[in-house]
Chain A
Amino acid sequence: MATCGLAAGAGETRKAFTETLAERNIEAAVIPVGCLGHCYAEPLVVIHTPDYPPLCFHNVSPGKAKILVKSFLEEGDPLVEFLYGAMEPNELLPSVMDFPRFSLEKRIVLEHCGHFDPEDLFQYLLTGGYAGLVKALTRSRSEVVEEVVLSGLRGRGGAGFPTGIKWRLATEAENENRVIICNADEGDPGAYMDRTILESNPHQLLEGLVIGAYAVGAEQAVVYIRSEYPLAVRRIRDAIRQAEEAGLLGQAVLGTPIHLEVLVFQGSGAFVCGEETALIQSIEGLRGMPKARPPYPVEKGLWGKPTVVNNVKTLSCVPAIFRNDAAWFRQVGTTASPGTAIFSVVGNVVHPGLVEIPMGTTLRTLIFDICGGVPGQKKFKAVQIGGPSGGCLPESFLDTPVDFDSLIQAGAMMGSGGMVIMDENACMVDVARYFLEFTQSESCGKCTFCRIGTRHLLIILDRITKGLGTLEDLETLETLAADIKLGSLCGLGKTAPNPVLTSLKYFRDEYEAHVLEKRCPACACRELTAFYIDLEKCARGCDACVGCCPVEAIFTTSNRKKGIDAQKCVKCGECMVACPPEYDAVRKVSPPELAPVIERGKE
């Protein structure tokens, strides 16, 4: 019951369960849980019964819910036709672990997500929650810092700075009045793992935050969270209240003399506030504009105090490190990037959702083995990693291992972990234009190169997607991109040209087709594409496309077939969907001149 489960209809499913259970007088507890990360199969339901291992059912609509109660709970038939798999290996039924989507994952942060009620502190304690904090508190501050240094944990926000070193730097600051901030301003379009963690396991994050606060000696902590995530805001607020009541936060943390106050600050929708200095400005009530570093926040940050800013995933890794130890953490992943990486794999892929894999897994395993590859027998074209700061990698890079350094070498970056898979229908010029549109409007305006440069990149890309570009434009894109990287202060400007640079590097032929032939190879740029109806295939008298056209651009020809008025057509593609598959008569071509002209019938 996280935001995406609810969007998929989990609310109604839950209602159907409670109602049918009451109707049939069956005693069962319906527990709303967090997110398992298997968004493609939502709403998911796990049913625990004495006779069977816990069984997971997928795409459970209210109707299916009623049948499950009747047939499974009342009559004892486990309804294998609805079954996704058993949650535990057993002799009777296939287990979910038989699927690569489960077995190839390695879950540290997401381990308990989706298995318990995130609004219940007690259930978190049952998973071993706050045991890491108890262990950490038995050790000295510097021992805690050194343990994290040893674990090799690197910041999961994108840059990959070693967390332990950051903490150590903060403890070296003279001012004893320190602050720790959890950065939950997940502004990256296409990434939602922070939201899921906040919604599905808020106490794990709080535990990491308390350990961090203890290590650096902070008495104040702030969770900076996007206001676009109302459910996450509510869950973290509730979690803080519960933790305070249980003595895990506040005046005396677990009876020790340690004092910690946690505030929630809601971000107001500015992408640049994911940058730590901008984030701090925003908490102080100013415009979120980055400041020149040094001084780094660890020396002088929020309200002038030494400040540690850590990402949600980073802090959520910390409890597990203390429950086990640094060496255990190092066993997972690679030497330079220990631990796991969490990606939200979305776009044109069979099993989209959240995936947690050991660092060093290749992109191919991630996209094809775990997430099932590209649907509809289409060809894989590119994977966009790291959002607006990252890059698009083509097929030849599929064997790149996923870790901080390999991805930067390839021209992309880890970013916050958004991964968008694109099939042959995506136009790389259009994708670059999309990202530039985003960074251009999100640039805070402080640095001239970022403010004006991104605007110019956007104008040029816009021109190219309309078929008005020149070869010279491609040169300008490259030089301007390099200048913006050099002339910007913060990560936003330094990385904003990445989508343009990588797509130019790996998909130059697509740019050239737009410029030289005025053709969009993917038929995605609407100005360069036309729709027409193949008269050979069009069925006489069928009106399926006429009804769906939003602008009445489809007319009937003299022999009762259909044609599209190119002047009226807005190229929405509705007719292509509406045309019955047995006819499949609607075609898309680029350049538009290739579309045959079809005469209107005489009235």
Chain B
Amino acid sequence: MLDALVSMKNPSGTPEVDTEELLMLEDLRNGLRRFAGARSNLIPILQMIQERYQYLSPAGMKLVAAHLNISTVEVYGVASFYNQFRFHPPGRHQIQVCMGTACHVRAADVILENFERKLGVKEGQTTPDREFSLERVACVGCCALAPVAVVDREVQAGMQPSKVEGILLGFQIEKDRLDREKQNRGSDSSETAGT
């Protein structure tokens, strides 16, 4: 099955599965062994894939279909029905803005808009550098602290438009620091190599 997927080509002639995905599929095939081939395992399997790789790839869904002996469209039909599943790889940092009722009456749309403006993407999209992805969620159940956003799985209470900037700035500072460290280490090692 895996070999068949690898040899598949797009109409343009490029392989449909790249190396990054190939490694993932290999790993996924092992992961699937833990599940019996029963239909009722479909959603738990999809959840396992999403948990592990953050999204469902077309080739991955084909593997699942083969494992459960159902058609790929059926897998896609179920996956696309539920809000939980993503079909594109998300960014390194995931931002979810809560759009529950309590958050709505406390202007959650302004928060979402501010994220959109600052990141230059719309909700449901990922920035081109794959650093951030932005989503809206129905309710995370922290209504008393509205409006809230979930940033990298941590609930940020009492969001303000200005807090949006602060959060993104925090990531930028962290990234700059890491970059600097990497650079320093790079120059250190080259120095050691020189001596």
Q: Which of B94-114 contact A (CB under 8 A)?
A: 99-102, 104-107, 110, 113-114
| Contact status B138-A353, CB under 8 Å | no
Task: Output the nearest chain B residue to A578 by Cβ-Cβ distance.
Answer: B162
| Contact status B148-A7, CB under 8 Å | yes
Report the bound CA distance from A577 to B38 in whole Å: 56
**A19 contacts which chain B residues (CB < 8 A)?**
none
Choose the segment among B11-19, B78-86, B120-128 that binds chain A (4+ C-beta atoms closer than 8 Å). Answer: B78-86
Report the bound CA distance from A570 to B161 in whole Å: 12
In the assembled complex, the CB of B190 is this many whole angstroms from the nearest CB of chain A, namely 40
Task: Output the nearest chain A residue to B51 by Cβ-Cβ distance.
Answer: A227
B146 at the interface (CB under 8 A from A): yes
**A3 contacts which chain B residues (CB < 8 A)?**
140-142, 155
Choose the segment among A144-152, A267-275, A592-600 that binds chain B (4+ C-beta atoms closer than 8 Å). Answer: A267-275
| Contact status A192-B42, CB under 8 Å | no
| Contact status B141-A39, CB under 8 Å | no
In the assembled complex, the CB of B139 is this many whole angstroms from the nearest CB of chain A, namely 4
A266 at the interface (CB under 8 A from B): yes
B145 at the interface (CB under 8 A from A): yes
Report the bound CA distance from A40 to B142 in whole Å: 11
Report the bound CA distance from A438 to B77 in whole Å: 21
**A183 contacts which chain B residues (CB < 8 A)?**
none
**A195 contacts which chain B residues (CB < 8 A)?**
141
| Contact status B44-A266, CB under 8 Å | yes
With an 8 Å Cβ cutoff, the count of chain A residues facing the other chain is 58
Task: Output the nearest chain B residue to A8 by Cβ-Cβ distance.
Answer: B157
B137 at the interface (CB under 8 A from A): yes
**A438 contacts which chain B residues (CB < 8 A)?**
138
| Contact status B105-A348, CB under 8 Å | yes
Chain A CB within 10 Å, residue with most, of B46, B77, B118, B155: B155
Given contacts A189-B139, A551-B117, A574-B162, contact A284 B39 (CB under 8 A): yes
Can you report 15 A-B residue pairs in the complex whose CB atoms are below 8 A from each other? A3-B141, A3-B142, A7-B145, A7-B154, A40-B144, A190-B101, A228-B141, A229-B141, A266-B43, A266-B44, A268-B46, A347-B146, A420-B101, A573-B110, A573-B161
- Other than the given A285-B41, A431-B104, A570-B113, 12 more pairs (CB < 8 A) read A4-B145, A187-B138, A189-B100, A190-B143, A228-B84, A286-B39, A286-B78, A287-B81, A346-B144, A384-B101, A548-B162, A550-B165
Residues of A within 8 A of B (CB): 3-4, 6-8, 39-40, 186-192, 195, 227-230, 265-266, 268-271, 282-288, 344, 346-348, 352-353, 384, 387, 418, 420, 422, 426, 431, 434-435, 438, 442, 444, 548, 550-551, 570, 572-574, 577
